[in-house]
Structure 1
Amino acid sequence: MWRAKRLYHVSVPPISQFKPLPQFKLKCGLEIHTQLNTKNKLFSRSVNDPFRSADTPNLHTTFFDLALPGTQPLLNYEAILYAAKLALSLESNVNLNSQFDRKHYFYGDQPLGYQITQHFSPFASGGQLSLLQDIDDIDEKVKDIRITQLQIEQDTGKSLYRKCDLVTLIDLNRSNVPLVELVTEPDFENLKQIKAFLKKYQNLVRHLGVSTGDLESGAMRVDVNLSINDHARVELKNLPNTSSIMNAIKYEYQRQITIMRNGKAEEMLSKAETRGWTGSSTVKLRNKETTIDYRYMPDPELPRVALSPDVITNIQKTMPPLPDEVLQGFVSAPYFLSLKDAKILCLSSNGQGEIYNHAELQNYYVETFKFFVDGIKSRAAKMRSQTSKLPTNWIIHELLGDLNKLQLPLSKLAAYLTPRVFADFLMLIHDAKISSSSGKLLLFHILKNFQESNYDISKPVDFDSLIDEYDMRLIKHIDSSELKQICRDIIGGLNNEKLINDLVSGKKRNSIKYLVGQGMKLSQGRIQAQQFEKTFKEILNVKW
C-alpha cells in the first residue's frame, strides 16, 4: 500500500511555471460543445432559454422535449444558419448534404432513449483557427489548430442530485437546446496554446452572435483528449471552467510522468480511459477497452439537411469581419490604437457581459471618434494627430472604468450620452474649457445622476450649465507672478528636501508629477497641468 501511494503522489507546479518537458511530449485535442442562442430549441418550438429559467424547472418544454409518445422532431433552420456562420469563420468545408443520426443510450435526463446528433455525415469538416504570438500571447509566432469536424446535436436535460432524501430530480429546460460540437486535431502542445484557443474560440462565437460562450453557465463545455509520448489517449471530462481545464491537464500530465518514471507505463498507460476532475485531481471513470455500442442509425423522422451552394454564398456575404481583422483595423489608420487598447475593443470579456459587449463598445468608440475628428477638421494636422488620442483614453479607460464602478450598462447610457454628445464633451477638454481632472469629475457626476434618475433620457446633458454650477472653467490667463507664488508655497510646504534634490538632479524625474498634482488639487483643476509643470521647472531651474 505504501508503494502504491508513492506511485500516485503527484507534485504539480503552478500554471505560470508549468512547461512540458522535452522527454515527455504532451499532445492534446479538444471537444467543445457550444450552445447556440437561437430563439427556439433544435427540434421543437420551445423557447431556448435554459439559464434564465433555471429557477423554474421544466418551464420551457414541449411534448417532444419531454419525449411523449407520438411526438416528432421539427428542425429549427436558425440553428443551421448559426452553424454555417461558425463553420465558415473556421474555414471549414460545409457539407451540403448532412444528416441527423440517433445515438442510443438511456439516462434520466435523456428521455427519448437516444440523442439526435450527427455521426455518419456531420455538418462540416476541416478548417483551422490560427493563433498568433502578438495577439494571442503564445510562444510560437503562428500556431494553426486544425479542425476535424463540426456537428449539430441536441443538448440533454439536467440531473439534480438531492442527497438529503436520495432523490434525483430531472430538469428538461436544457433538453433539445441546439449544440455545435467542435472537434480539433491533437495539435496542442502546451497550456498557453490551449488557453489561447479557448479564449479565441469563445470570443469568435460571441462576435458572430451565435452563442454567449460562457463556460461557467455551461453554454460552452469542454472535454480534453491528451496523451504523453504517444501512449493511449486519456479523455478528461466534467471540466467546468478554464482554470479547471488548465489544472486538470497539468495534473494528468504530472500523474502520467510519475507513472513512467516508476516504470509502470506499459502496464498502466496502455489502455485508453476516461477520467473526471474532482477539483484537485483526476479520477478514473471507466476504461475504453471496447467501443460502447450506441447503435447509431440515421434518424428516420428527419430528412437530410440539403443546402444549395447559393445558401453558403449568401451567408458568406453577410459575415462580419472576423475578430483578428477588426483588431488589425484598430491598430492601423485612422485610430492607431495600441494592441492592448485594441484588444479591449475586440475581445469579449466574460465578466463584463452585463455592462457592455464588444460589438456595442466598438460601435460607440467608432461613432464618437468620427464625430470628434469631424469637429477638429479645421485644426492643423499636427494638432489633429495629437488630439485623436482623446476618444481612446476617455472611452477605453475613463468611461469603461466608471461604467464598471457604477454597474451601468453601456446600452442604456448610449441612448443618453450618445457618441455625438460624448464627442462634444471631449471637445471641452480639447479646447481647454475644462481640465482633464475636472472632466473626470464631471463625467462621473453625469453618469451617476443618469443612473439615479432611473435612466431618464428626456432631459439632455447641458455641459455649460454644469461647468458653471461647479466652477470648473479653466483659468486661461493667470498672472505669472501669482502662479509662481502658488508653486513656491507648494514646494515650501513639502518639507521633503530629498524629493526636490532628486527631481533637480534628474534622478527621479517623475517627482514633477507629484508637484503638478498638488497644484491641480490646490486650484481644483482650473489651472492647466502644463502651466504648473513649466513654472515648477522654472523655479527649480530644472535643466533636463
Structure 2
Amino acid sequence: MEMLVNCRRYLSVGSVKKFSLVSGYNLKCGLEVHTQLDTKHKLFSFSTNDPFGSVDKPNQNISYFDAALPGSQPILNYEVVLQALKLASVLGCSINYNSQFDRKHYFYGDQPLGYQITQHYSPIASNGHLRLSPKFDGIGGTKDKTIDIIQLQIEQDTGKSIYIENEDLTLLDFNRSNVPLIEMVTKPDFTTIEQVRAFVKKYQNLIKILGVSTGELETGAMRVDVNISINDLPRVELKNLPNTSSIVNAIKYEYNRQIEIIHNGKAEEELSFSETRGWNGSETVKLRSKETTIDYRYMPDSELPKLKLAEDIMKKVKESLPPLPDELFEQLTHHPYNLSLKDAKIFVISNTHTINYENAELRQYYLEVFKRYSDEIGAKNINPKLPNGWIINELIGDLNKLDLYLNDITPSLTPKVFAQLLSLIHTKKISKTSGKLLLFHVLKELKDRGSSSVPININFDTLIEEFELEQDTIRNKNDLVLLCQHIIDELDNKKMIADIISGKKKNGLKFLVGQGMRSSQGKLDPIELEKTFKSMLEIKW
C-alpha cells in the first residue's frame, strides 16, 4: 500500500523530479531516433536541403519530385549514403553492401506520394552498438553499459502541416519533404533513465562531430521516440518528445502510470497490448492502440535499383573520420594535459549556443599552444594549469566580452605567439595580472582593426616595455618585507590581523596580497607576496 501511495504521488508533473525506480518493477526502454542529415541536396532530388532556413518562405526549396508531381522520379543523392556510412562505422555496424529502398504506404497531406521511401527489408547497416561509461557519460555505477543497435536505415522526411485555428484550414509546406533521414533503432537495453539521457546526449554529440547533422532536438533535426515496458509487458511507444527534458519526464510519468495500473489490477485490461502515446508536457496521452495499427503494405521501390557499395568503400570512410569523443576524453584528461572532465568537455562536446568558436577549432588551437609552450619551457618544467586556464578562462572569456570569433584572431595571435605569452608568465617576467591586461589589449586591437586578411605582428616584449609591465625582480628581500610591513601598518586593524593569523579569516590574506599587487601595479609575484606575509605574521595554517 505504501508503494502505491508513493507511485501516485509521483504521477503529478510538478513532482516528476522526485523519481526513483520501484523495486520489483523493472524498466526496459528502446529508442527510435530520426536524424535529419546535413547535406547540400535532398535525398531524391536536387532541391536545397534547408528545411529550417526558409521557415518564413514555405514551399521554396522543392522540386517536382518533392511535391510528387506525376511522372517525376527519384534520383539518389550519394552524399546521404556517405553520411550514413560514417555513422554506421563509428557505431560498429555491419554494413550491407547490397541494400534496397522500399515503399511504406500511407496517405496523409504532408506525404504527397502516398508512400514514404525507406529501407524496411534490407537497411544499409545493422547490428551496431554504442558504449556508455560511468566516467565520461555519468550513468552511475562502475561498469560500462553497451546499447545494441538493431539497424540504421535511410529514408525521406515528410512535409509539414500547418493548422490554422478557427478557420478549419490546413496549409502544407514541402520544404521538409524528401529531406534525408537516418532512422536508428536500438534494442530495449536501457534499464535506467540515466542511461537514456546519456545515450541521447552522446549520440547527439557524435553526429555533430561527424558533420552528419546539427543534432538539434528543438528544431526537429533529431527526433526521439521511446519504447517503454515494465516487467516485459507489451511496449508503449512515446512520441512527440521535443527535447531531452521531455524525454526524461515522459519516461518518468509513463513508468509510474503503468505501475499504478498494475497495482489497480488492470494490467490485463490496459497493458496487454502495444500502444502509442504522446507527451503534452505534463502527461502521456493515448494516440492509438493495436486495433488502429496501420498496415503499411511494404514493398520494394520499383523506381530505385539496389544500392550496391564498392568493396573498399569502408576503408576510405574510416580514414576520413575525425577523432571520436571517448578517444579525445582519454587524451585530454591524462598526461600531459591533465584536464578535468568538465574542462575537457569544452573541447569535445559540441554546443550549438556557442558562436565564438567551434569545438574542433578550439581544441586544435589549444593542442598547438600546449605543444609550443612545452617546447619553450621544456616538457619536464611545464605547468599544465597555465595553458589550460588561459585558454579556457581568459581567452574564451575575452572572446565573449569582445564578441570576437576565434578564427578572427588566430592569424595574428597564433599558437606560437600565445605560447610566448605563457612563457613570460611561467618565467615570471610578467605577473598574471599583467598577462591578462596584455591579452585583452591585443584582442581589443584585433577587434578595432576589423576583418583584415593581413595578420599583424604581435611582440609581447615590446608591449611589456611600452606599458612598463615587467615584473619587479626581488633582488633585495628587505624591500619586499618593508612593502608588506607598510601594508600591514596602513591597514591599522589589529583584530583583522589576529583573525588572519588564527585562520578565522583566511580570505584576509588574499586581501593583503591584493594590496601588495595594487601597490606594485601588478608587477610583483603574488606567490612571493603571500609567502612574505605568512612569514612576517608567523601564519601556520
Q: TM-score, normalised by structure 2?
A: 0.92
Q: Distance in 1 between matches of 2:166 and 2:404?
A: 41
Which of 200, 214, 218 does residue 198 from structure 1 map onto? 200
Q: Deviations over 1:419-478 (max 9, x none)?
A: 222222222212323211222233233334433433335333343444344443212236
Deviates more, 1:86-95 or 1:418-427: 418-427
What residue is the counterpart of 1:393 in the other structure? Answer: 389
Contact 2:164 2:170 in 1 (8 A): yes
2:522 is equivalent to residue 542 of structure 1: no
Deviates more, 1:402-411 or 1:54-63: 402-411
What residue is the counterpart of 2:425 in the other structure? Answer: 429
Q: Deviations over 1:384-407 (max 9, x none)?
A: 23x343221111222223333444
**Counterpart amino acid of residue 58 in structure 2:** P
What residue is the counterpart of 1:132 in the other structure? Answer: 133
TM-aligned CA deviation for residue 414 of structure 1: 2.4
Contact 1:38 1:48 in 2 (8 A): yes
**Counterpart amino acid of residue 500 in structure 1:** I
What residue is the counterpart of 2:230 in the other structure? Answer: 228
Which of 140, 144, 150 does residue 142 from structure 1 map onto? 144
Which of 419, 435, 440 does residue 439 from structure 1 map onto? 435
What residue is the counterpart of 2:4 in the other structure? Answer: none
TM-aligned CA deviation for residue 165 of structure 1: 3.7
What residue is the counterpart of 1:49 in the other structure? Answer: 50
TM-aligned CA deviation for residue 15 of structure 1: 6.1
487 and 311 in structure 1: CA distance in 2 versus 1, 3 angstrom threshold: same
Q: Distance in 1 between matches of 2:171 and 2:464?
A: 60
**Counterpart amino acid of residue 103 in structure 2:** R
Q: Distance in 2 between matches of 1:465 and 1:501?
A: 44
Q: Distance in 2 between matches of 1:132 and 1:428?
A: 40
Q: Deviations over 1:291-339 (max 9, x none)?
A: 3111211111111111132112222233333221122122233323333
2:516 is equivalent to residue 515 of structure 1: no
**Counterpart amino acid of residue 334 in structure 2:** S
What residue is the counterpart of 2:3 in the other structure? Answer: none
Percentage identity across paired residues of the two chains: 58
Contact 1:12 1:251 in 2 (8 A): yes
Q: Distance in 1 between matches of 2:301 and 2:452?
A: 54
47 and 142 in structure 1: CA distance in 2 versus 1, 3 angstrom threshold: same
- 1:106-121 alignment runs, 5 A limit: 106-121=107-122
**Counterpart amino acid of residue 408 in structure 2:** K
2:525 is equivalent to residue 528 of structure 1: yes
Paired residue total? 533
Contact 1:11 1:254 in 2 (8 A): no
What residue is the counterpart of 2:450 in the other structure? Answer: 454
Q: Distance in 1 between matches of 2:526 and 2:453?
A: 34
**Counterpart amino acid of residue 392 in structure 1:** N
Contact 2:9 2:15 in 1 (8 A): no
Contact 1:12 1:250 in 2 (8 A): no
Contact 2:10 2:19 in 1 (8 A): no
TM-aligned CA deviation for residue 27 of structure 1: 0.8
Q: Distance in 2 between matches of 1:255 and 1:522?
A: 67
Contact 1:99 1:121 in 2 (8 A): yes
- 1:158-173 alignment runs, 5 A limit: 158-163=160-165, 165-173=167-175
Which of 280, 289, 295 does residue 287 from structure 1 map onto? 289
TM-aligned CA deviation for residue 48 of structure 1: 1.5
524 and 57 in structure 1: CA distance in 2 versus 1, 3 angstrom threshold: farther
What residue is the counterpart of 1:474 in the other structure? Answer: 471
Q: Distance in 2 between matches of 1:8 and 1:501?
A: 54
What residue is the counterpart of 1:3 in the other structure? Answer: none
Give the secondary-structure state (helix, strand or coil) at the position aligned to 1:127: strand
Contact 2:161 2:171 in 1 (8 A): yes
2:34 is equivalent to residue 33 of structure 1: yes
Q: Distance in 2 between matches of 1:517 and 1:53?
A: 55
**Counterpart amino acid of residue 370 in structure 1:** K
TM-aligned CA deviation for residue 105 of structure 1: 1.4
302 and 259 in structure 1: CA distance in 2 versus 1, 3 angstrom threshold: same
